[in-house]
Every structure is written in structure tokens, then in C-alpha cells.
Chains A and B, each alone.
Chain A
């Protein structure tokens, strides 16, 4: 693991990023709809959202690979709208790594420096020997390639071509090609998506350490909320071209602004039950306690009660000491130290998931009736969602997990 060393880098080059009212339309569809986000210099922000929410389009717009129809993008205090991609001093890491296939890794790493710092004469093979200046610059580029290769531990790969490398190695070379320009801004478009699970976790940690060391402002696009939670200073959640919420991982986890955001940040599933049903079931028994969610009496609420699997518990049916929701077990899924218990509400068949310890999995065979309770202080009441196509696509926990 790389250690964080303060002050050994380009932190002073890191720039603030300000996205102001950016809109991009494809025909009638707004891929980006009045998007505004601000990043502090050196900040690591992730953008998450379902496929097609516009997160990649936003990243490509910042890099200048897509035009925008309205709004401004400021890198540092410079409005980059209209500038060519290479003039924006940003580095981009693509999901496919996008290495130049016929060049060696050394040539791949040197390419951005060769194209930006050498004249056509200096680039011409052989001819650069004629000019002492081109020769000096080439030597300088070679030194910088060696330095970055040492930093990423890819020295032994320098003379190979991308096709001869594993996914993880290609990913390092792609990172190196981005780093070597000492950019003001890093744009990463799902750079870990093509790695296998084990490698993804170590690379994620390395990426985070590298970013801390280099200090560059970073915008990281992913569809994996766990990945975003793990390494971000802040996260922006996008749906259908709009930014719904920006906040620290903790803020997003505790206080999602709406049902979509809460649902997106829940694994494997966000439990949603009609508020009236919950009130009816919980205000039972001799004591008739008033069901409150975060202090609000539930019987006055209209909408859905939402809570995460980790905030729910199951109990034997006979355990009537406190009220609970009557459910029937459907199936259980192992998830390492935990297990997910898929249950259905007996009242109206609403599917729910309860996180239990995996040792307890045998106590809950399919078909067993049970009581479900949840932490009222970790739940929310949201208005009923508008019927939209997104919701239909994930009609049940089984569909979402599959």
C-alpha cells in the first residue's frame, strides 16, 4: 500500500471545478438537465446513478468530448466551454482503458507529452536528432515516463503492447497515461468496472491513495454505490439527467432526499411499505402505542415507509411483546457474514428484505411465518412515487438482485 506523503505532488495544480447549469439535449431527451455541481480543489467526488442517467455524458462534457447546449464549466477560474479537449488540462481514464493498441506501454505513456510538448519535427522518428532542443525534450519525456512507471510499478511492462497485458495492468498503464500530464482535474469513467472483484477492491484502495498523494481534483463516475461510498469525499446522485442530491457518503446514507436516492443506496433492496398498513399493524395490542417515525406520528402520514434491510429484524411469530409486521419467509440468500432474508408482508404481499446473521439462516425456512420489526429512527416516510418506467424495471427484490 502506498503511503500518503504530504506535499510531494501537484496539489498546487489541483483546480476547483464548477459546473453551472449545464444542459445537453439529444433530440427531445435532456441527457443533462440544468446540472450544477461544485468541487473544491483536491476533492474526490463520485457521480452515481442508474445507466443512462447522464453521468458519463457529464464527464465527457467536462472533458470537451461532448458539446453542451447551455451552461458553463469552470476549471480553476477558466471557462473551458469551447476549448478543445487537449486545452482543458484534464485527464480522462476510460472504462475500456483506451490504450493505443499498436504502441508499447512506453509509447502509450509518452504519447500525451509527445503530442503536446514536441513540434512535428521533434516527433518525427530520427529527425529529432537534428535539433538539440527536441533531443533534450525527448530525454526529459523519457525520464518522466520512467518516473511514472516506477510510481505505478509497471516498469517491467513498458516494452509490451496493451494486448499482452492483463486487465489490471492495462488499467495501471491507463492511469499512468492520465497522471503523466499532471492534470488539474481527473475524470474517471468507471475505471474499475472491467476488473474482477478481488482486483477491484485493491485497485480501489490504491486509486484512493494515489489521488490523496497526487492531490488532483477528481470526478469519478460509477454505477456501484458501494465503490462510491468507500472512496469519495462527496457523492452526487443523478437520475434522468438531473442531480438529485450531493453530499458526503454519510449524509446520503442517513438522509436521502427522496425515494430514488434512498433506493439507489440500499443493498440489495430498499423496503417500502404503505404508511397506512404500517400504522395499522404497529398500533395494535393492548398498549396501542403510537407509531412514530423520527418523531412524526405515522397515522397522519400518507406515502411510503422506507427502511433498509440492515435496519430490520425478524422474530418468531409467538414473540408478541412488541408489535411487528406479519410476514412469511420466501427464501434466504447468503452474502458472506450476513444473509438476506426475503419475506412477504401477509397483509398485501409487499416484498421486503431483512439482513440477518448468516448463522441464523437455518432458522428461517421458506414458508415460515414471522414478525418483522424495524428501527423507526432509521426509516423515512416519502411521498408515493409517481409511476415511472424506472420503478417498473425493479418491481421486486428478486428482480433487483438478479
Chain B
């Protein structure tokens, strides 16, 4: 009885989450007029679908946005790991004065959203002449308190005797991080990569703050610009086609990584 109720609630939630996606795909495949036909889901048409996708690809540099998004997400992730792995290792395994305080500061930083330092960051980037650059999109995110925290938790359970063996075998401290700790922590890395890429691919807020140049736009900002530009007025199909193309890489990627995501976070939490 309660099981059936639970299933019903979950089903309802799933429908609520999925409905916008279904509607987006349906609209992207239908001619503009079909939207007002009265049926809940517009009837798709092959010619209309082709027109919609072609319009979205030609009227705005959608591929350019996606390339920007891929580059920015990739660089953010690379630099985050490059910084967070040694930091997490030091916090987990190297005794030094003030380690506890420093780890407390990392936890504190976890609770500060990007909106809080947004204005000083903007002003700083503006003074440095870095608005409308990849640097402006990447730099504020390269130190991730969440990544440092996650890696530290993972690394802390690594056996100390193996580290001693590594030091005797001639591993430097950095070699220990890259050759021993990180490979052992790959569920955490995969989980973090998924979270980071989803967050930054979907981010509209920060690109809106630092980017005005069309060439530098990321997918969500590009779509927003497309919508407000008037090009898509009276052509919701094309707008939705853009939405489908921007969302697709994430959905496909998530389908591949979700198992690691859940496993990684599960281990990190214990």
C-alpha cells in the first residue's frame, strides 16, 4: 500500500521533470502553426523539423557557442582537478601547522555561492581588461572548495603505509598525488567531473555578467540572446531545436556517467 503510494509519487515527480523535455522536443519537431492547433502535443512533421534545426544552426552561431562551452567547461575542470588534488592530499595526509583551520576555511567556502563575490570579481576582471575573454569565464571557478573537500575525504582513507612505501620507492609528493592518489580516487574524480561540467555548461548567470560579445557566448547565454534578439519570434520551433541541441550532450554524457556519479558521492559521504 505505502509502496504503491511511493511509486505513484515518484512517477508524478518523474512526469513533472520530464514533461518540459518532451514538450521541447515535440515543439522542435513541429511546424510553428501546429503549436496553436489545440492538442497538447503538437504533431511533428519531417519538413518542419528540418527547417527548425537548420534555422537554429544558421541564424545563430550555435556550434560556436557549444565549442565555447566545451572549451570553458574542459578548462575549468582541468584546472579544478590540477589545484584540488594536491590541496586535498595536503589536507588529508601531510601534517602541518594550521591544517585544521585551513580545512575549516574550505568547508566555510563551500557555503558561499558565486553571487556573493560576483561584484568584486566583475570589477577586478573589468580593471584587468579581461571582460569578454575565456579567462573571465574560467578564472573565478578554478579553485573549487567542493573539489578540495571531496578529494580530501577520499584521500583520507588511503592507507598510510602505501604512502611510506611510495616515499621509499622514490615517489615525490606530487608523484604520489598524480600516480597513486588520483587513480585510486577516480570514482570521486568522475563524480566531480559530472557535477562540474553540468554546472558550468548550464550556467547562465556568470557568462551574463562578463560576456557581451556574441563570439564568446556559451550555450545558455547564446540561447538567451537568440530568444531576445527577435530572430526567433514567431518561430518557437527553431528556439526549441536550439534548446535540444544544447541539452543533448549533457543528457548523453549523464547517461554514461550517472553510475559513477552516484558511487563517487556515496563513497565520499561515508
Chain A bound to chain B:
yes
Interface, chain A (partner B; CB < 8 A): 60, 63-65, 84-86, 90-92, 94-96, 98-102, 111-112, 115-116, 177
Nearest B residue (CB) for A180: B169
Interface pair B162/A92, CB less than 8 Å apart:
no
B249 interfacial contact with A, CB 8 Å: no
Which of A92, A94, A115 lies in contact with B170, CB distance below 8 A? Answer: A115
Task: Report how far A65 CA is from B171 CA in the complex, Å.
Answer: 13
Interface pair A98/B170, CB less than 8 Å apart:
no
Task: Report how far A83 CA is from B226 CA in the complex, Å.
Answer: 64
B116 interfacial contact with A, CB 8 Å: no
Which of B162, B164, B167, B170 lies in contact with A100, CB distance below 8 A? Answer: B162
Task: Report how far A209 CA is from B166 CA in the complex, Å.
Answer: 27
Least distance between B175 CB and chain A CB atoms (Å): 7
Interface pair B168/A63, CB less than 8 Å apart:
yes
Which of A64, A101, A111 lies in contact with B169, CB distance below 8 A? Answer: A111
Interface pair B170/A112, CB less than 8 Å apart:
yes
Interface centre among B164, B167, B169 (most CB of A within 10 A): B169
The 6 A-B pairs of least Cβ separation, nearest first, read A115-B170, A86-B170, A98-B165, A112-B169, A98-B161, A116-B170
Chain A residues whose C-beta falls within 8 Å of the C-beta of B183 in the assembled complex? 102
4 additional A-B pairs beyond A86-B171, A96-B159, A115-B171, beta carbons within 8 Å, are A86-B170, A92-B165, A99-B165, A115-B175
Least distance between B96 CB and chain A CB atoms (Å): 14
B180 interfacial contact with A, CB 8 Å: yes
Interface pair B167/A85, CB less than 8 Å apart:
yes
Task: Report how far A95 CA is from B162 CA in the complex, Å.
Answer: 11
Interface pair A99/B162, CB less than 8 Å apart:
yes
Chain B residues whose C-beta falls within 8 Å of the C-beta of A96 in the assembled complex? 159, 161
Nearest A residue (CB) for B164: A65
B184 interfacial contact with A, CB 8 Å: yes
Task: Report how far A116 CA is from B162 CA in the complex, Å.
Answer: 17
Least distance between A213 CB and chain B CB atoms (Å): 22
Chain A residues whose C-beta falls within 8 Å of the C-beta of B164 in the assembled complex? 60, 63, 65, 85, 92, 94, 98
Chain A residues whose C-beta falls within 8 Å of the C-beta of B167 in the assembled complex? 64-65, 84-86
Least distance between B56 CB and chain A CB atoms (Å): 40
Task: Report how far A96 CA is from B170 CA in the complex, Å.
Answer: 19
Interface pair A92/B168, CB less than 8 Å apart:
yes
Task: Report how far A14 CA is from B222 CA in the complex, Å.
Answer: 70
Inter-chain CB contacts under 8 Å: number: 58
Chain B residues whose C-beta falls within 8 Å of the C-beta of A177 in the assembled complex? 165, 169
Task: Report how far A96 CA is from B180 CA in the complex, Å.
Answer: 17
Interface pair A101/B162, CB less than 8 Å apart:
yes
Least distance between A128 CB and chain B CB atoms (Å): 15
Task: Report how far A100 CA is from B167 CA in the complex, Å.
Answer: 12
Least distance between A54 CB and chain B CB atoms (Å): 17
Chain B residues whose C-beta falls within 8 Å of the C-beta of A115 in the assembled complex? 169-171, 175
Least distance between B110 CB and chain A CB atoms (Å): 28
Chain A residues whose C-beta falls within 8 Å of the C-beta of B171 in the assembled complex? 86, 111, 115
Interface pair B168/A100, CB less than 8 Å apart:
no
Task: Report how far A42 CA is from B165 CA in the complex, Å.
Answer: 23
Task: Report how far A90 CA is from B166 CA in the complex, Å.
Answer: 13
Chain A residues whose C-beta falls within 8 Å of the C-beta of B166 in the assembled complex? 100, 111
Chain A residues whose C-beta falls within 8 Å of the C-beta of B159 in the assembled complex? 96, 98
Least distance between B53 CB and chain A CB atoms (Å): 40
Task: Report how far A387 CA is from B165 CA in the complex, Å.
Answer: 40
Interface centre among B162, B170, B171, B183 (most CB of A within 10 A): B170
Least distance between A26 CB and chain B CB atoms (Å): 13
Chain B residues whose C-beta falls within 8 Å of the C-beta of A95 in the assembled complex? 161
Chain B 153-182 per-residue mask, 1 if CB under 8 angstroms from chain A, else 0: 000000101101111111100010000100
Given contacts A91-B168, A116-B170, contact A98 B162 (CB under 8 A): yes
Nearest A residue (CB) for B169: A112
Which of A85, A99, A102 lies in contact with B168, CB distance below 8 A? Answer: A85
Interface pair A90/B162, CB less than 8 Å apart:
no
Task: Report how far A152 CA is from B180 CA in the complex, Å.
Answer: 25
Chain B residues whose C-beta falls within 8 Å of the C-beta of A60 in the assembled complex? 164
Task: Report how far A101 CA is from B166 CA in the complex, Å.
Answer: 12
Interface residues of B in 124-147 (CB under 8 A from A): none
Q: List 12 A-B contacts (CB under 8 A).
A: A60-B164, A63-B164, A64-B167, A85-B164, A85-B168, A86-B168, A91-B168, A92-B165, A112-B169, A115-B169, A116-B169, A177-B165
Interface centre among B168, B171, B175, B180 (most CB of A within 10 A): B168
Chain A residues whose C-beta falls within 8 Å of the C-beta of B170 in the assembled complex? 86, 112, 115-116
Task: Report how far A378 CA is from B171 CA in the complex, Å.
Answer: 52
Chain B residues whose C-beta falls within 8 Å of the C-beta of A101 in the assembled complex? 162, 184
Chain B residues whose C-beta falls within 8 Å of the C-beta of A85 in the assembled complex? 164, 167-168
Task: Report how far A111 CA is from B176 CA in the complex, Å.
Answer: 12
Least distance between B166 CB and chain A CB atoms (Å): 7
Chain B 202-238 per-residue mask, 1 if CB under 8 angstroms from chain A, else 0: 0000000000000000000000000000000000000
Task: Report how far A116 CA is from B171 CA in the complex, Å.
Answer: 8
Nearest A residue (CB) for B180: A100
Least distance between B158 CB and chain A CB atoms (Å): 9
Least distance between A65 CB and chain B CB atoms (Å): 5
Task: Report how far A84 CA is from B169 CA in the complex, Å.
Answer: 11
Task: Report how far A96 CA is from B161 CA in the complex, Å.
Answer: 7
Chain A residues whose C-beta falls within 8 Å of the C-beta of B184 in the assembled complex? 101-102
